[in-house]
Amino acid sequence: MSEPTRAQSSQDTAAAKAGARLGPPGHVSAPFETNDPRTARRRALDKCAAYFVTCGGIVIIFSILAILLVIVDQTYPLFLAPKLAPMHRQSLGVNGVLAVGCDEYQSLGYLVHEEGIAIFDLETGAMHPAQPSLPLAGAKVVAASAEMHGNLLLGLSDNRVMLVCPKFRPTFPNGADGPRVMAPEFESGDPVALKAAKEGALRSIGLIVVDERVTAVVGLEGGALALLHEKERTGGGGMLGMDEGDSGPKKLEALELPVNLKSTANCIALAEAADYAYLGKADGELVALDIRAPDKARIASQAALATNPKPIVSLRILLGGGTILAGDAEGQVQTFHNIRQPDNTRELTRINAFAPHAGPAAVSARSQRNKSFLTGSPDGEIHVSYATTGDTQMRFKAPFGELAALAITPKGDGILAASRAGEVQTWHLDNPHPETTLHSLFGKVWYEGYDKPEHVWQSTGGTDDFESKLGMMPLVVGTIKGTFYALLFAVPLGLLSALYVSQFMHPSLRVWVKPSVEIMAAMPSVVLGFLAGLWLAPRVEAVAPGVFLAILVMPSTILLALLAWEYFPEKIRHKLPHGHEVYLLIPLVVAGLWISLALGDAANFTLFGGDYRSWLTQSLGVKYDQRNSLVVGLAMGVAVIPIIFTIAEDSLSNVPQHLKAGSLALGSTSWQAAFRVIVPTASPGIFSAVMIGFGRAVGETMIVLMATGNTPVMDLSMFTGFRALSANIAVELPEAAKDSTHYRALFLGALLLFGMTFFVNTIAEVVRLRLRRKYRVL
């Protein structure tokens, strides 16, 4: 038998034996069995490892879901509608009700009516035994005005006005452990006669008390106005005429204002600084009256509520003193700001229009805690609204007609409504977050003191009547801005260095370079932030023109050196082993940086007169902050580069070598093989590296906190700072009151941060899987 025939026979015999072991086609062979204890132990360890990995993955997933549920639980109350629950209804049997109010504990209430003031128990309706006695002298109360501290100014039918200060003092007659009993104390001053008025001419009054100084404006029939203010006298007194200081007692005196509106002022409200009086006229005009100098009082600005104006029938100044609430006889409700113009004049500007009433919006009330307010019409329709958002949050009906007065309780958790005939209804109001809507959180809002709607985050202020501004957009933009500049610096350096190390660097150097870069990822971000804020930022400010020139000069230096290297003798070029080019690149980079800084310094003196910051401001309108986005991009880029480098280098190194070998065998150069074969094949891993770097940059806190001005501004310039969502949470959450709107808004920021990273990572995973399917055939 020939040798080929013998070899073929041997192969057939081996194949037959193998087929006998494997069985017929379609047969599944039994698993390999062995009694080796080492194999059994290895299998047991594999099962335990698989169990623990699976359990660990499940725990991580549930932990993330639990964190998400906690964030959502703290956030969703921001968007809940207010709740209203009826409490007590009383009928007091008084007529001509003008105003209603209560103490802060909602124990006692009072009604201002045409015969005086009635104090009653809110729960039972029983009249209090200590009823105030007012020196009306047979006159009736025809107008009443309450200011923010609860003081009342009453206008009488005989053209007198009277100041009344209601106080409710808590007492404990049965000891400190006994029930609290409220003791009413209504102090009244002497009535002041209006000399210029004829009998029954008083139509409206407005009151404000600033630093215990009383200022009031009275509207008379036909458009005449009178001002009431304090006059020094001898003796001692309080706000009603007895001052405890050395300046002596004070007494109200009336002064006729040198202004005639030519139309009766139906309602009056005074600014909290007592510098402007706002008048709602019978002809439908809203007037701002400058009363800083009473003898020179003048109309500063005026506006109409509608194209076809109707009489203005209600007017209020809301908390903060800058928002004027006006309602007209057609049911329209609007807010205005008295905005200062560039020429130092004032202009009444309409800010928001609210849901109209079916009847005249003749009754209104304001909150003492925020910019919530009530409006009502005589048919009993009541609206709960919030001035800043322009949102009417609730509508309901009082259980009686002839609605005459409304009030929000001092703590903002209740509503009182009174009819003209003395019926009183109370409700419990649960509306803890009236200032938050999707528009107020993510849209432009026109705040007091601003000349146009803006995105603003300013959660705290210096006064109790400060209005929190919780716009999330400056924080979202700041987060994206910081991430963009960090990735703009980190992605090119991280990916190109990974490509060089994996494909061109000599293995003897690679074993040192890669671990060194990976160790950089362990550097604490607080250290990087500290160095960026205190060391890097001042130095970048000093050489900023050179930093920008380095973007052009350093690559140009390397390219010129490369071209020159091609003309060096081969004997010299071969002295630099393949893969050790980094020894030549390092001095070139240092030289390019030095040239850039030198050219930048020369350009600063030649082109910008030695002060590029002033040139930026004057020529381009761009402000340069020392701690800005450029500094954050450099510092945060240093933190992100190791992550991008490590993952990308692993992906590039794990591309099968036969792909590169085949490409080189077909005549491609090393660079062609790297960019046309290696990079596309490793693209899923490269894309994952960029996305993980993005997640690292988005969630960064300490570098952003320490290396920027941490100011929430809507500015995309790299020369200004910003505030990121993560830094905002770190700074403000420890100081936020639990369950407050501010507290929940910070959790909303956390939810946005979670959503941004989840969305981007989901898109990244989809793209990665598509790239993997595309190149898996390789």
Sorted by where each starts, the structural domains of the chain and their CATH numbers stand as: 2-79 (no CATH), 83-233+246-442 (2.130.10.10), 473-777 (1.10.3720.10)
In which band, very low, low, confident or very high, does the pLDDT at 263 lie, cut at 50, 70 and 90?
A: confident
**Hey, which residues does 281 pair with through a beta bridge?**
265
The pLDDT of residue 200: 64
**241 vs 650, residue with greater confidence:** 650
Amino acid of residue 735:
E
pLDDT at 29 over 70: no
Task: Give 208-276 as a DSSP string.
Answer: EEETTEEEEEEEEGGGEEEEEEEEE-SS---TTS--SSTT--EEEEEEEEEEE-SS-EEEEEE-TTSSE
pTM listed for this prediction = 0.85
The predicted model gives 145-159 an average pLDDT of: 86
pLDDT at 643 over 60: yes
In which band, very low, low, confident or very high, does the pLDDT at 24 lie, cut at 50, 70 and 90?
A: low
The predicted model gives 236-263 an average pLDDT of: 61
The half-sphere exposure of 521 on its side-chain side, counting CA atoms within 13 A, is: 18
Q: Please list, in sequence order, all residues whose beta carbon lies within 8 angstroms of the beta carbon of residue 183, skipping any fewer than 6 positions away.
A: 130, 168, 169, 170, 171
Q: Which helix (H) or strand (E) holds 279?
A: strand 276-281
The pLDDT of residue 335: 95
pLDDT at 774 over 80: no
For residue 669, what are the CA distances in angstroms to 119, 254, 593, 653, 655? 97, 98, 30, 18, 17
pLDDT at 25 over 70: no
Secondary structure class of 476 (helix, strand, coil): helix
CA distance 80 to 432: 9
Amino acid of residue 64:
I
In which band, very low, low, confident or very high, does the pLDDT at 7 lie, cut at 50, 70 and 90?
A: very low
**Hey, which residues does 424 pair with through a beta bridge?**
90, 418
The predicted model gives 445-464 an average pLDDT of: 86
CA distance 110 to 92: 10
**461 vs 384, residue with greater confidence:** 384
pLDDT at 39 over 90: no
pLDDT at 571 over 90: no
pLDDT at 256 over 70: yes
In which band, very low, low, confident or very high, does the pLDDT at 246 lie, cut at 50, 70 and 90?
A: very low
CA distance 745 to 747: 5
**670 vs 747, residue with greater confidence:** 747
pLDDT at 11 over 70: no
Quick one: DSSP state of residue 445? B
The pLDDT of residue 323: 93
For residue 179, what are the CA distances in angstroms to 102, 171, 175, 183, 314? 18, 9, 8, 13, 39
Q: Cβ(699)–Cβ(758) under 8 Å?
A: no
Residue in 271, 214, 217, 265 with CA at minimum distance from that of residue 241: 214
The pLDDT of residue 21: 47
The predicted model gives 163-169 an average pLDDT of: 89
The predicted model gives 106-127 an average pLDDT of: 92
Q: Report pLDDT digits (tens) over 604-625.
A: 898 888 889 889 888 888 888 8
Q: What is the mean pLDDT of the chain?
A: 86
Residue in 171, 176, 221 with CA at minimum distance from that of residue 198: 221
Give the tokens for residue 158: 């005989």
In which band, very low, low, confident or very high, does the pLDDT at 434 lie, cut at 50, 70 and 90?
A: very high
pLDDT at 531 over 70: yes
The pLDDT of residue 321: 87
Q: Cβ(533)–Cβ(541) under 8 Å?
A: no
Give the tokens for residue 741: 């709107």
Q: Which of 201-215, 546-560, 574-588 has the highest mean pLDDT?
A: 546-560
The predicted model gives 581-587 an average pLDDT of: 83
**Hey, which residues does 153 pair with through a beta bridge?**
145, 163
The predicted model gives 75-80 an average pLDDT of: 93
Q: Cβ(630)–Cβ(547) under 8 Å?
A: yes
Q: Report pLDDT digits (tens) over 659-684.
A: 888 888 888 888 888 888 899 888 88
The pLDDT of residue 178: 83
The predicted model gives 86-110 an average pLDDT of: 92
pLDDT at 433 over 70: yes
Residue in 403, 368, 391, 481 with CA at minimum distance from that of residue 438: 391
Window from 91-100, 411-420, 493-502, 761-770 with minimum mean pLDDT: 761-770
Q: Cβ(102)–Cβ(122) under 8 Å?
A: yes
pLDDT at 267 over 50: yes
* CB-based burial label for 341 (10 Å; 0-12, 13-18, 19+): exposed
The pLDDT of residue 248: 37
The pLDDT of residue 463: 66
Only one residue has tokens 């109360």, namely 141
